[in-house]
Amino acid sequence: MTDMGGDQIEEAVASCAALLRSAAGRDWDGVRAGRLEWSCRRTVEHVASDLIAYAGQLAGRATTAYVPFDITVDEGTGNAGIVDVIETTGALLAAAVRTTPREVRAFHPYPFRSANREGFAAMGVAEVLLHTHDIAEGLGLPYEPPGELCARVLTTIFPHVRPEPDAPWSTLLWATGRGDLPGREPITEWRWNNNLVIGTERLTLQGVTPAAAADLHAGGTGGFEWIEGGPFEGTRFAAGMVVSAYEKGAHRPEWGMFALVRREDGLAVGGIGFHGVPDEEGRAEVGYDLAENARGRGYATEALIALAETALARDDVKLLVATIEQENAPSQRVIARAGFTRASEDVEKSARELHDLEESLRLYTREA
């Protein structure tokens, strides 16, 4: 698996620069950029500002707000000069992404107040692709970026959007209110969605994107560095559930899968997450899995407590449930230490009737 990174930023900037240079002799100030209120010239300057801002967030390790700076283009700079600025700021973001450790997160407001290097790379690529489209539309020029680039943007920061088979560019335009897709209502408001991270004393629970989940399910690493023997089979199975939900448009990152990453060395030791969004009664099911070499150290308990407390603090969650094999005593001890209790026989019977609970499984619950 190749992370969204510097190469993708450079690819997006190159496609943008090629289009802009082909129209450098045109009037950019007097032409509106597609559906935007900005002129084409103002839109180009905005892209450069975003690229340098994202680079600054990563380089400065900003954690609570945007680094308070911006760029100013010299007075009298022509269209060709502003393309130079786009290429330069794109190179700076690519360099920042390449030199930032994977575990570093910096402030970005949407939606969980931070993003990692892959998130900033995806946001930078999205800014370039979408605003190049706006400019091209204003100038009456054809523009379509590489489909794989669009698909990676979608799986990284639009994980809640159902992909359209063989049409990632059209899907990205629709998801940002710039186009139509058959059978889907127009989008009027949108935001991208960086992955959620939940911290504990020894771990970070890092939200797994659909792209990472697909790689894990196929036998890869998902972009994580794993402890020897990981990931375990349950993690790969759960990753497949994420992929299936994404393809159906039912994936919601906060109700998906998280990799358990040790703070001390950055190694992933397991996976944890939900089987889907809460039902109408506020019931959500959790599951977890550790690599064999990470067991017996309390990681699963620590992660489950953090995940449960985060979920139960929400208004739409009333009950968390987990199912465990009758013979799996270690997992039963984990679930008990995390505040779950064994359901009564009547509740288990009801779960078998309503939720197809297998006879070999025991049901545990924790209420809000």
**Which residues form the domain of 316?**
197-367
In this prediction, residues 346-357 reach a mean pLDDT of 79
Q: Nearest 10 degrees: CA dihedral of 48, 53, 56, 60?
A: 180
**Residues 151 and 13 both lie in one domain:** yes
Q: Is residue 97 part of a domain?
A: yes
- Check which CATH number belongs to the domain holding 267 and give it: 3.40.630.30
**Residues 153 and 35 both lie in one domain:** yes
- Check which CATH number belongs to the domain holding 86 and give it: 1.20.120.450
In this prediction, residues 5-24 reach a mean pLDDT of 98
Q: What is the pLDDT, as a whole number, of residue 357? A: 75
Domain-ending residue, one of 175, 205, 230: 175
Instruction: Give CA separation, 130 vs 178, 336, 341, in Å.
Output: 9, 49, 50
Instruction: Provide the edge-to-edge strand list for the sheet that holds 341-342.
Output: 197-199, 203-207, 257-262, 268-274, 283-290, 319-325, 361-367, 341-342
In this prediction, residues 235-263 reach a mean pLDDT of 96
Which two tokens mark 354?
């309503």
- pLDDT tier at 2 (50, 70, 90 boundaries)? low
In this prediction, residues 153-181 reach a mean pLDDT of 96
The more confident residue out of 239 and 359 is 239
In this prediction, residues 304-326 reach a mean pLDDT of 96
Q: Is residue 22 part of a domain?
A: yes
Q: What is the pLDDT, as a whole number, of residue 358? A: 84
Q: What is the pLDDT, as a whole number, of residue 1? A: 54
**Non-local CB neighbours of 161 within 8 Å, separated by 6+ positions:** 154, 171, 175, 249
Q: Is residue 116 part of a domain?
A: yes
| pLDDT tens digits along 82-120 | 999 999 999 999 999 999 998 999 999 989 999 999 999
**Residues 210 and 314 both lie in one domain:** yes
Domain-ending residue, one of 175, 209, 238: 175
pTM of the model: 0.94
- How many domains does one find in the chain? 2
Q: Is residue 186 part of a domain?
A: no
Rounded to the nearest integer, the mean pLDDT of the chain is 95
In this prediction, residues 345-357 reach a mean pLDDT of 79
Q: Which 8-state DSSP code applies to residue 293? A: G
Q: Is residue 183 part of a domain?
A: no
Point out the least confidently predicted range of 79-88, 160-169, 195-204, 347-356. Answer: 347-356
The proportion of the chain whose per-residue pLDDT surpasses 70, expressed as a percent, equals 99
In this prediction, residues 281-305 reach a mean pLDDT of 96
Q: Is residue 342 part of a domain?
A: yes
**Residues 147 and 268 both lie in one domain:** no
Angle at 155 between CA 61 and CA 299, to 5 degrees: 60
**Residues 161 and 236 both lie in one domain:** no
Instruction: Give CA separation, 157 vs 58, 75, 210, in Å.
Output: 17, 35, 10
Q: Is the pLDDT of residue 3 over 80?
A: no
**Residues 157 and 222 both lie in one domain:** no
